[in-house]
Amino acid sequence: MNCFVPALAGSSPGVNSQRGRAVSCGVVRPRVEFRHSGRVRMAASVLDIETEVESPEGVEVKEELVFEPVKNPLRKLLRSTRFFFAIRGRVKKGSVLCMTVSGALPDQRPMTSLFSQPPESPSLPELTTNLIHAAHDPRISAVYLKIEPLACGYAKLEEVRRHMEFFRQSGKKLVAYTQLGGVKEYFLSLSADEVFVPPEAILSLRGFNAAGTFVRGVLEKIGVEPQVQRIGEYKSAGDQLARTSMSEAQREVLNSIMEQQYDRFIHDVAKVRKKSEDDVKAILDAAPQLMEEYKEGGWVTDIMYESTLVDKLKEEFNKGRTTEAKLKRPLRSVGWRKYTRVRAKTLALQGKSCIAVIRACGAITLGKNGSNPVTGGTCGSDSFIETVRTAIDSDFVKAVVIRVDSPGGVSLAADVMWNELKALAKKKPVIASMADVAASGGYYLAMACDTIVAEELTLTGSIGVVSAKLSLKDLFDRIGFVRENISIGKYAELEVDNRPFTEAEEDYFAQGAQYAYKSFVSKAAESRGMTYDEMNKLARGRVWTGLQAKERGLVDEIGGLNLAINLAKEKANIKDAGRIVELRSRRGFGGLLGLFRSSTANPAGVAAMSLGELGKPEMLLMTDYDGSDVNPVQRHLAGRVFNSAVNFLDIQSLRQLLSMTFRS
């Protein structure tokens, strides 16, 4: 446990009186990609441990990202020399770094094949690394950030905003442009020096909402009976199948999450725009549709088309004796993809001691990491364990940070991954860093670590279990399909989908879920130094924000990945600048070609499993929603209903069509 109260930590959900920013003398240094001869790929970065300071309110805080320029003459000379010879990362002096922020901002670089299209926008690590590099790079004069519709959570936005503010500490300008957005996009733009919109922009500042999707009525119409076993009244992952409306428990959680998001948004907008909180609430209720109203109220800097904004940037940053000469030339700029080639070593920002970052992103499954065009990547237990064992065996790695961005998944997979992390923690310091969501199985992984760090708006907890079997008996009767089972053993037919559970089978099925829940709560209680009863009050499938979780002892610190890395360095007694390496499991040649199998031997997610496997006790799911929409695992469950209904036809195209239709 750490005694520091990090910046951005409030006293209670929605109370932001202690968010005072502090200034320290710490130096934050960026990542760089390199090849390693072993069985994993690595990416390195360097960060110094920051110092403790007093906030204006008198609360001890720990600042994660404080810019300090390179002052050593020898390092400056070395940097200039490397600029000259750096062919891969060559950037013209005075360039504007242009980046687009859009979509889900994945917490790791998405897996791509030789035949797949490269992403149009950077991942979260690429975006934040580029901002840190650009702050230290004398060749970069400004950053132009185009903000497009976002599908990520507020925790990732907190991480990006922290890096935007770090870049601005270097004295360089950060300009944001958005033409279509809502509260998330505007929340992100708060950390820019200037915000521009076109005349006909759609800026939907209308407040916050969340929705639940329920398909029980649809299932009844087609003759499918869901048999859901959940432990914990707040565990709502199975509600999509079992209910026709939102439960009071789910409504309570969603309201709690939205209230904290709303309060944080109101506080930050009021602080940045120098308005009262009542003014911000009024603009959300009024929801203006004309950009002139936003400009007159001081909510945006100015109104102009992107081409006009580019001309403005040319006048400010292009070289030339006259304005006319500046405008004739194209804007001197560098794209985000090219700039990711710039190495930390080129910027003279690299140390020797090593901290490893291991990412656990996506639904937790058995087998290898996978990719799915609908739900994104999955975190396979075999791939994760392989990477953790690399960190255990490496004398080069002094401490490890586990970066979790997962709603949960298969309980067996989470448990074997947890066990491997416990073995790692016996040999080296291990810190957990939570991104948007580290719930259920995601929290299961984090509780194996020495210290847990979460963002204020991270969604975590959800300590509970849900499992489901779908009986297709009525559907089969309607269409005249007959399947007869021959079995030996009382529970041999537990997995069959052509009839519902018997009373004995249902009891057996429930026992498996109860065992998994008690094991989960017991391990969580031991990890957090609580009794079983104390932890059980916080469990029951309840989702908490990072701030709520800290107040209840489920996490230790409020902050981002950089704070977790700094804590790891502190525990490992690393005194130099250090090097951060990102460990990943190997990808085979089939992965490069994009040949992903859909089988239980190498699952691409829960959707790759059969309904029978979902009913097995060892396949119990530990997952929950992200607070605003149905998460990938829930979409998997819904899609499997219709896949299984036509599985006996063995028509792959029809299965895919039905699956895609009901997951959208």
List phi, psi (to 5°) of 500.
-75, 175
- Here the tokens at position 509 are 């099925």
Helices (H), 485-600: 503-528, 532-538, 546-551, 561-571, 589-593
What would the mean pLDDT of 319-335 be, rounded to a whole number? Answer: 79
Order of strands, sheet of 370-372, starting from the edge strand that comes earlier in the sequence: 225-231, 465-471, 621-623, 408-410, 363-365, 376-380, 370-372
* pLDDT tens digits for range 221-245: 999 999 998 898 999 888 889 999 9
Give the pLDDT of residue 336. 87
Partners of residue 150 on adjacent β-strands: 103
What would the mean pLDDT of 627-646 be, rounded to a whole number? Answer: 39
Report the distance separating Cα 609 and Cα 615, nearest Å. Answer: 10
What would the mean pLDDT of 363-367 be, rounded to a whole number? Answer: 93
- Here the tokens at position 575 are 């005194």
Report the distance separating Cα 234 and Cα 637, nearest Å. Answer: 18
Is 440 assigned a catalytic role? yes
Residue 151 CA to chain centroid, in angstroms? 11
Polymer length in residues for the chain: 664
* pLDDT tens digits for range 96-151: 999 999 999 999 876 655 555 677 889 999 999 999 999 988 889 999 999 999 99
- Ranges of each domain in the chain: 88-205+288-339, 218-253+349-663
pLDDT at 599 over 60: no
Identify which of 634, 208, 632, 101 has the alpha carbon closest to the alpha carbon of residue 457: 208
pLDDT at 475 over 70: yes
CATH class given for the domain over 88-205+288-339: alpha beta
pLDDT at 633 over 70: no
Give the pLDDT of residue 274. 96
- Which of 3.40.50.880, 2.40.10.10, 3.90.226.10, 3.30.2350.10 would CATH assign to domain 218-253+349-663? 3.90.226.10
Give the pLDDT of residue 138. 87
Identify which of 550, 614, 585, 523 has the alpha carbon closest to the alpha carbon of residue 237: 614
Report the distance separating Cα 286 and Cα 266, nearest Å. Answer: 14
Residue 626 CA to chain centroid, in angstroms? 10
Other Cβ atoms within 10 Å of 425 Cβ, number: 17
> Could you give the 3-state DSSP secondary structure of residue 330?
coil
- Active-site pick, 381, 411, 433, 440: 440
Order of strands, sheet of 333-335, starting from the edge strand that comes earlier in the sequence: 302-303, 194-197, 173-177, 140-150, 95-103, 333-335
* pLDDT tens digits for range 125-140: 999 999 999 998 888 9
Pairing relationship of beta strands 180-181 and 194-197 according to DSSP bridges = unpaired
